[in-house]
Structure 1
Amino acid sequence: MRPIPHPGRPGKLLRLLAEKYPTKEAVMSRLIYLQGQLVLPKGVEHFMSDLHGEYAAFYHILNNCSGVIREKVDYVFGARMSKEEKAEFCTLIYYPKEKIEQMTAARRATPAWYRENIARCLALARLMSWKYPASRLPGLIPARLRPVLVELLATRPEADAAQLAYQQRLLASIVQADAGAEFLEDFASLVKRLAVAEFHFVGDFFDRGGRPDAILDRVMALPEVDIEWGNHDVLWMGAALGSPACIATVVRNSLRYDNVDVLERGYGISLRPLVTFAQHLYPDEAPIRAAERAATILLFKVEGALIERNPDLGMANRRLLHCIDFRNVCAVLPSGRYELRKAYFPTIDEDAVDPYVLTLEEREILDGLVTSFTESPSLRRHVDFLYRKGSLYLVRNGNLLFHGCVPLTEDGAFCEITYDGKKYAGRAWLDFCDQMARAAYLYHEQEALDFMYFLWCGRLSPLSGREVRTFERTFLADKTTWEEPADPYYRLLDDEETCERVLKEFGLSPKKGHIINGHVPVKVKKGESPVKAGGRAIIIDGGFCKAYHEKTGISGFTLISNSRGLRLLAHQKIADVRTALADNGDIESVSETVELATIHTTVGDTDKGRAMQEEITDLYNLLLAYQNGVLKPQA
């Protein structure tokens, strides 16, 4: 690269750079390092969406890196290992501690077994490390045995007899020191870190499955991760910040999906006062179902108040509690009169002018829940992480990532939305929604907290994009009222011109960029393709949640982006820890190439590479300033 001349007087940036690189040698060293990195292959990126609390499936996919480790084992060892040996070795990588315990119990963990498997781990890690600069490797290795692992990776037994003897002595010494188990565990950790450079989670950790808290604990330990919020995520975020409507919905959903453990054990939020209250109201119901009914009425009351004070949210047609005709056991909606499925409403005064007023008992329960949610340390830790690593959307390496939709009109134009007298459309609307979500976190003001509920279920919310018919599905017998109109975006996603318009709106190439989003499960078993508009859009919600498996026909997607292009894995069957240990079971996946690169993509082709190029330019200017005497380097 040709150095860019710098004016006579050094600017603030050069002076700051000079503090970091005070000598010409320091500048040249950094320049050489950055220039070299630009030609390395780009790191592997994994994209996942809609995990919905399915911890067992996520844990196995995380450990086998969506099948990448099995592919690398096949490549490295080929015919040198049998199919059974490779399966057992893969299980050792996925679950080293548990596998070692199993082998020890079976008296198979002999010194020879340890030496052989540490050598295999070494060969695998060496191959997988070639995409990384040598200076980064120590940081990827667990600290406790880092010096020896670095030394092992540096050995070259193929070079000469001395290096071979050196490596063999190191391996023998590990076993003699009774450190084989620790080295296998740390090697397994290194292999998994080398397999995936970046994780992108495109929304919805929460609800349906029972362990979103455990998933987030795992995600927080990953080295490189970003999150694009889903509507279920912002619902829990709003609840943690104290939004009564979000809290009532989270409680109702948890009761409805029968996963209250995540509240009580995961986050220390007790539902006992609600359950006790509900059992008095609905003595003929099971405690959980009674609590669900009580929480539902509580939700509709606080939701109605929220909608009334926020007309700009465009949710007035969802304020329906006052439409109930108690005496005639029906609901009178604009579309007609409908029979109620249930006619008992003990917490609503039938003669009251305002059915949205909370009873004294409801207010006490809600206040207690608000305190429990806002004061839960573990929930707060997870929500802090979601804000720190998350956003409404992300533009990265030619891809546009978001969970739901960009609101469109029926003809594919960006929908113009008015809020507080200002008009927004396209990217500007998503930016505004992101700002409101962050305002809720920073200031806890009522308007922003109410906006979090809108992001969860609003028709114009980019995280929802459909009219949620909770009232109709709960109370009305006529299922034709249950249909939930969706934003035209979901229909127009198959149209290449629409996708190109969206990509261009976010500053991406309309012919080379990709939209990657989730939210709507892809019905693979009915022939629906996750790849839309000639590859311009990819839907990666494949139904991790068990409740969706029958609907989708698969167990989830992982989209993989590497130096050779894009590949989509449809997971047919996911082994859990018990299955993996019992018979070395693994993920059964079908791979589909979405896009094949004509040339290998390098770090220099990525956003990170472009940032390096900018730093290189600044460093050349600093070097020029040192050489021309504009700045004086330290001795």
Structure 2
Amino acid sequence: MYLNDPNTGKKVSKILRLMAEKYPTKEAVYEKLIYLQSYLSLPKGIEHFMSDLHGEYASFFHILNNCSGVIREKVDYVFGVRLTEEQKAEFCTLIYYPQEKIEQMRESRRATPAWYRENLARLLELAKLMSYKYPVSKVSGFIPQRYASVIVELMNTRPEADQAQFIYLKKLFNTIVQIDSGAEFIEAFTVLIKRLAVDRLHIVGDFFDRGNRPDAILNLLMQHPAVDIQWGNHDVLWMGAALGSEACIATVVRNSLRYHNTDVLERGYGISLRPLTTFAARIYPDEAPLKAAERAITMMMFKLEGQLIARCPDFQMQSRRLLDRIDFRSSYAELGDGKRYELESAYFPTIDTSNATTDVYALTEAEQAIIADLRSYFLESTVLHRHVDYLYQKGNMYLRCNGNLLFHGCVPLNEDGSFRTIVYAGREYRGRSWFDFCEQMARSAWLHGGQEALDFMYFLWCGRLSPLSGREFKTFERALIPDESTWKEPSDPYFRYIDTVECCEHVLQEFGLDPQRGHIINGHVPVKVKKGESPVKAGGRAIIIDGGFCRAYHSKTGISGYTLISNSRGLRLLQHQKIADVREALRANHDIESVSETLELQSCHNTVGDTDQGCAIQDEITDLYNLLLAYQNGLIKPQA
């Protein structure tokens, strides 16, 4: 679109007119061009990838504070043999937990003026080294605003080059300590250092369930300046519950009871379970209160799920509609394989088993009242809705970032490895188009509500064709049938084919990425390291970073999680053996114990110019040159 310039009367593009408002003089264009061209040559920012946090706040809090061990590596590099191992460990603990460590030092009367000056000097030295990868303007933006001017001044001192600078720096430190602001400046420096250590954080799904503090993890992330999220199936389940899906609500409550983490509902989100537990104690008087509540909500979940599956045949989940396959007189159920299996219990107090015409999927009046009560709690929880809004604002079904493809679960495939065609509402989807449609439906649930979109959220949680699930859940069998042979959950062929280079290249190409240089980064399936399973698939084309942050999985995986690190030299995978918590770190300066594996080493450093951000900057540089030409040729008149 072209407009007339009001000063020259000549036609110029709308883009140039808008840019001229932002850069009204040639000098402003010069300044920006110099900055952007130079910025492209700096090393690319450090990206950290984590997945399947599952409410393990203590572990995540420590990893976030020590940047997956990167800070300890930088401390070792900067201070080498100048500090003992004990001194370096204590210094790292100060960086991770400054408030708590300073309080500990005060209580032991070790927080002397000399201690403050010494640690401020160390923090300054570390921050200077870590800042060299960033332009000054960006570093300034990482500093807490209240302390920015003084810390910028400290960062620009060169005491090694000049005696006057040495004296000036010493005076700055002395004054900071003298006016009793040493603790505040130490904390501000630790914020800067942590920000310099990780330029961007990617969370590849699953904040909720199993662990008891997903709410605290989300509160922590909401303070992080550069994070993106790829939704996991546990996330969309809670998102659907917050938006009013009754099937999602029943499942969330059941999972919380099953994993013994009801605190997140009652204390974290203000969702009372009292009506449910009162009802359950009445109909299951011989059970422990929480077990009774779990049994009661499980039956409600099966009923609501059955109604949903009947409404939505395109989900292809008919095999999960099993309540009507129970012979209540003989206490057997006939499954899809045509075999009869004995039930664990013949007691179904919320189903009229004496009447053959009873709709087994209909909620009783008491059940309807409980679900309505729970639904009102979920809809009215301001904390939960703040977290769900954050997940929608920062999250997606998948992300293409710097040549990597990030998504939680799988790309549905056929048995021969080709993309599976999925039919929904008469339209066909496969590969990337299926992901895009699933995201469209998830966002429709958030923006508009409606039964169809809410039902789709439940499908995303547990559907065999869902890109976030990719397996057939056996919840009915696990809950009601003791024969464990019925518990095996068939999964999508993707989980087999991801080991092959051909499959990885096919997927990367489908999502518009270079199949020779790109990587697929998944979560969802815990890697059983202790059984010899590797997270690295197809020679490094795919990396599964679900290492079992959740304590319940530690015995299965043999480790405490993964962090994948992408820096200017390539990819590195940290396998966390043991993760200290706050108390342990403060008591004995214990840290994270990890094994590092280099997955890909570049022959030369990647720069900002090699990233997605670099491509955007190149476009901006082109527009700036066009604006400069417009100024020079008189198409646009610069302001005085």
Aligned-pair distance for 1:614? 0.3
Partner secondary structure for residue 574 of structure 2: strand
Aligned-pair distance for 1:374? 1.0
Deviations 1:196-254 (A, max 9, x none): 00000000000000000000001111110000000000000000000000000000000
For 1:42 and 1:297, locate their aligned partners in 2 and report how far apart those are by CA, in whole Å.
52
For 1:536 and 1:271, locate their aligned partners in 2 and report how far apart those are by CA, in whole Å.
46
For 1:345 and 1:17, locate their aligned partners in 2 and report how far apart those are by CA, in whole Å.
70
Tell me the residue number matched to 1:108.
110
Tell me the residue number matched to 2:452.
447
Tell me the residue number matched to 2:385.
380
Matches within 5 A, 1:398-409: 398-409=403-414
Question: 2:340 matched to 1:337?
Answer: yes
Tell me the residue number matched to 2:465.
460
For 2:520 and 2:308, locate their aligned partners in 1 and report how far apart those are by CA, in whole Å.
33
Deviations 1:391-420 (A, max 9, x none): 000000000000000000111100000000
Question: 2:567 matched to 1:579?
Answer: no
Aligned-pair distance for 1:139? 1.4
Tell me the residue number matched to 1:127.
129
Aligned-pair distance for 1:136? 1.4
Q: How many residue pairs end up in the alignment? A: 628
Tell me the residue number matched to 2:350.
347
Deviations 1:533-568 (A, max 9, x none): 010000000000000001000000000000010000
Deviations 1:587-618 (A, max 9, x none): 11000001001110000000001000000001
Tell me the residue number matched to 1:195.
197
Partner secondary structure for residue 400 of structure 1: strand
Tell me the residue number matched to 1:3.
none
Which one of 525, 547, 564 corresponds to residue 520 of structure 1?
525
Query: Aligned AA for 2:318?
Result: A
Query: Aligned AA for 1:349?
Result: D
For 1:253 and 1:474, locate their aligned partners in 2 and report how far apart those are by CA, in whole Å.
12
Q: Does the 8 Å contact 2:319/2:336 carry over to 1?
A: no
Tell me the residue number matched to 1:300.
302
Query: Aligned AA for 1:332?
Result: E
Query: Aligned AA for 2:21?
Result: E
Structure 2-normalised TM-score? 0.98
Tell me the residue number matched to 2:48.
46
Tell me the residue number matched to 1:145.
147
Matches within 5 A, 1:181-260: 181-260=183-262
Structure 2: stretches of 5+ with no match in the other structure: 1-9
Aligned-pair distance for 1:23? 1.2
Tell me the residue number matched to 1:5.
none
Amino-acid identity (%): 71
For 2:313 and 2:130, locate their aligned partners in 1 and report how far apart those are by CA, in whole Å.
55
For 1:417 and 1:19, locate their aligned partners in 2 and report how far apart those are by CA, in whole Å.
49
Structure 1: stretches of 5+ with no match in the other structure: 1-7
For 2:534 and 2:255, locate their aligned partners in 1 and report how far apart those are by CA, in whole Å.
30
For 1:355 and 1:91, locate their aligned partners in 2 and report how far apart those are by CA, in whole Å.
58
Which one of 484, 487, 499 corresponds to residue 494 of structure 1?
499
Aligned-pair distance for 1:9? 3.0
RMSD, aligned α-carbons:
0.7
For 1:185 and 1:364, locate their aligned partners in 2 and report how far apart those are by CA, in whole Å.
51
Aligned-pair distance for 1:11? 1.1
Partner secondary structure for residue 31 of structure 1: helix
Question: 2:536 matched to 1:531?
Answer: yes
Matches within 5 A, 1:495-510: 495-510=500-515
Partner secondary structure for residue 131 of structure 1: coil
Which one of 547, 555, 565 corresponds to residue 570 of structure 2?
565
Deviations 1:331-374 (A, max 9, x none): 02231100001111100111143101111111111011111101
Which one of 323, 326, 337 corresponds to residue 328 of structure 2?
326
Which one of 66, 69, 75 corresponds to residue 67 of structure 1?
69
Partner secondary structure for residue 10 of structure 1: strand
List structure 1 segments (4+ residues) > 4 angstroms apart after TM superposition. Answer: none
For 1:137 and 1:414, locate their aligned partners in 2 and report how far apart those are by CA, in whole Å.
45
Q: Does the 8 Å contact 2:408/2:522 carry over to 1?
A: yes
For 1:182 and 1:374, locate their aligned partners in 2 and report how far apart those are by CA, in whole Å.
40
Deviations 1:166-214 (A, max 9, x none): 0000001111111111111111111111100000000000000000000
Structure 1-normalised TM-score? 0.98
Matches within 5 A, 1:256-295: 256-295=258-297
For 1:48 and 1:9, locate their aligned partners in 2 and report how far apart those are by CA, in whole Å.
51
For 1:272 and 1:154, locate their aligned partners in 2 and report how far apart those are by CA, in whole Å.
60
Question: 2:59 matched to 1:57?
Answer: yes
Question: 2:552 matched to 1:547?
Answer: yes
For 1:306 and 1:612, locate their aligned partners in 2 and report how far apart those are by CA, in whole Å.
48
